[in-house]
Amino acid sequence: MKTAHVFLNLACSVAAIGLWGCSQKPETAAAAAPASAAASPAGAASGAGAPVTVTTFKALQRDLPVLLKATGTVTALTSVDVKSQVTSVIAKVHIEEGQFVKAGQLLFTLDSRTDEANVAKAKAQLAKDTASLADAQRQLARNKELLAQNFISQGALDTARTGVDALVATLAADQAAIDAAKVALSFDRITAPNAGRAGLVPVSAGSVVQANVTTLVTITQLDPMGVAFSLPQRNLGDALSALKGGGAAVTATLADGGGAFKGRLQFVDNLVDASSGSVKAKAVFDNKENKLWPGAFVEVSQTVSIIKDAVVVPQAALIQGARGTVVYTLEDGKAVSKPVQLLYSQGLDAAVSGIQAGDLVVVDGKQNVRPGVRLVERAAEPKKAASAAAGVPAADASKPAAP
């Protein structure tokens, strides 16, 4: 009886344990399962061999120009502030503001009555001294005859000769006075020192101007026009070589989209700015349509050298890492990592070394690529663009048309 009682208690305990297990909720049972079962090696390996879809670009070999880009300022090659050389009153203004003038064209006329009177006075003095000289020469000739007849002494003849020489010198002085008076008179006619466009005219007839103080107008040459910019010190040698060869080609583009202009490098400064490490330079451009205006900002692009037979790939294919720059290439259907050295970048292109022309470099999708991963090339973008232009959605472009 005692043994039967023990077996009965054991059976009841087993039954109670089974009942507790059956009463658990499914969520609790699932949570109690080991985490390692969910991350089985088979599940992890199920997607390890999935290929990565990418787009590629075939590396090209071509000459790549090295462009130097900088911001420049349009400057006039010649700009002159016209001022009077004498203090006087303006008699007449012969130009209008904004007018294009030629070199030597009359701009202003000053009150010249005083200077004209001085010229007339100098001429009258010359006439008077000329008459005195003629009389002195006659006296000298008469004294020579009297000396020959021993009526006068040699000293009297020498005195007459000295009087003639003095009057000759006086005539020379009179002529110089006339020339000086004419120079002063010429200051009353103000002409253009160079061809160009007249700026603001702040004076009018009757205005008093002070000598070398009052600016009457500014004449600015607009054709040709210069552009001032700065060259990095590392490009100084290339710029000097180009300058010896007639000047490197320079392109200037207006910041407001007003067009591009072709010119040539004309000047490189003889000093490197220690604070910026750059050298001032100037290029000259034809400006027949007057689109380049002094003070305007332009984007300057200059070809300083050319990289011969450069291997060119898109900049988007380059991957910067802690160990340097690499690109992924597609070889035998798999990704291969190749270290490259960036030689020069321009726009969307980059000249590199470390790969060969014709290698397929990964451009889009490289963030999912690892060495040795199988790659699948994506359809070319132009095809998608053509499908969109034809009215076919890009997602459905690869589907066959309905019969």
CATH of domain 88-110+189-219: 2.40.50.100
Q: Of 225, 231, 202, whose CA–CA distance to 295 is shortest?
A: 225
- Rg, C-alpha atoms of the chain: 48
**Token reading at 264:** 């040539």
- Please give the Cα distance from 35 to 195 (Å, whole number): 90
What is the CATH architecture of 68-77+220-308?
Beta Barrel (2.40)
* Residues 6 or more apart in contact with residue 378 via CB below 8 angstroms: 53, 54, 55, 364, 365
**Token reading at 254:** 């207006």
* Residues 6 or more apart in contact with residue 216 via CB below 8 angstroms: 82, 83, 84, 107, 108, 190, 201, 202, 203, 209
Residue ranges per domain, the chain? 53-63+309-387, 68-77+220-308, 88-110+189-219, 112-187
- Please tell me whether residue 201 adopts helix, strand or coil conformation: coil
- Please give the Cα distance from 397 to 386 (Å, whole number): 10
Q: What is the DSSP string of 30-83?
A: HHHS-HHHHT-HHHHHTTTT--EEEEEEE-EEEEEEEEEEEEEEEEES-EEEEE
Tell me how far the alpha carbon of residue 400 is from its chain's centroid. Answer: 53
What's the confidence (pLDDT) of residue 39?
37
264-301 burial: b if 16+ Cβ within 10 Å, else e: ebbebeeeeeeeeebbebbbbbebeeeebebebebebb
**Token reading at 183:** 């120079």
Cα dihedral 99, 104, 105, 109, rounded to 10, equals 110
CA atoms within 13 A on the CB side of 350: 21
Per-residue pLDDT reduced to its tens digit, 222-264: 999 999 999 888 888 878 887 876 667 899 999 877 788 999 9
What's the confidence (pLDDT) of residue 303?
80
End-to-end CA distance of the chain: 88
User: pLDDT tens, position by position, for the chain (403 residues)?
Assistant: 444 443 434 443 434 434 334 344 444 433 333 333 333 333 333 334 689 999 999 999 999 888 888 899 999 999 999 999 999 999 999 999 999 999 999 999 999 999 999 999 999 999 999 999 999 999 999 999 998 998 889 999 899 999 999 999 999 999 999 999 999 999 999 999 999 999 999 999 999 999 999 999 999 999 999 999 998 888 888 788 878 766 678 999 998 777 889 999 889 999 999 998 999 999 999 999 889 999 999 999 888 778 899 999 999 999 998 889 999 999 999 999 999 999 988 889 999 999 999 999 999 988 889 999 999 988 655 543 333 333 334 333 333 333 3
Cα dihedral 149, 153, 157, 162, rounded to 10, equals 180
* Residues 6 or more apart in contact with residue 113 via CB below 8 angstroms: none
pTM value is 0.60
Tell me how far the alpha carbon of residue 128 is from its chain's centroid. Answer: 67
- Please give the Cα distance from 79 to 198 (Å, whole number): 10
What is the CATH architecture of 53-63+309-387?
Beta Barrel (2.40)
What is the CATH architecture of 112-187?
Orthogonal Bundle (1.10)
What's the confidence (pLDDT) of residue 381?
56
- Please give the Cα distance from 121 to 128 (Å, whole number): 11
What is the CA angle 252-257-258, rounded to 5?
75
Q: Residue 354: which H helix or E strand, with range? A: none
Return the bridge partners of 400, or none. Answer: none
In this structure, are residues 200 and 217 in contact, taking their beta carbons and an 8 Å threshold?
A: yes
Burial status of residue 398 (CB atoms within 10 A of its CB: 0-12, 13-18, 19 or more) = exposed
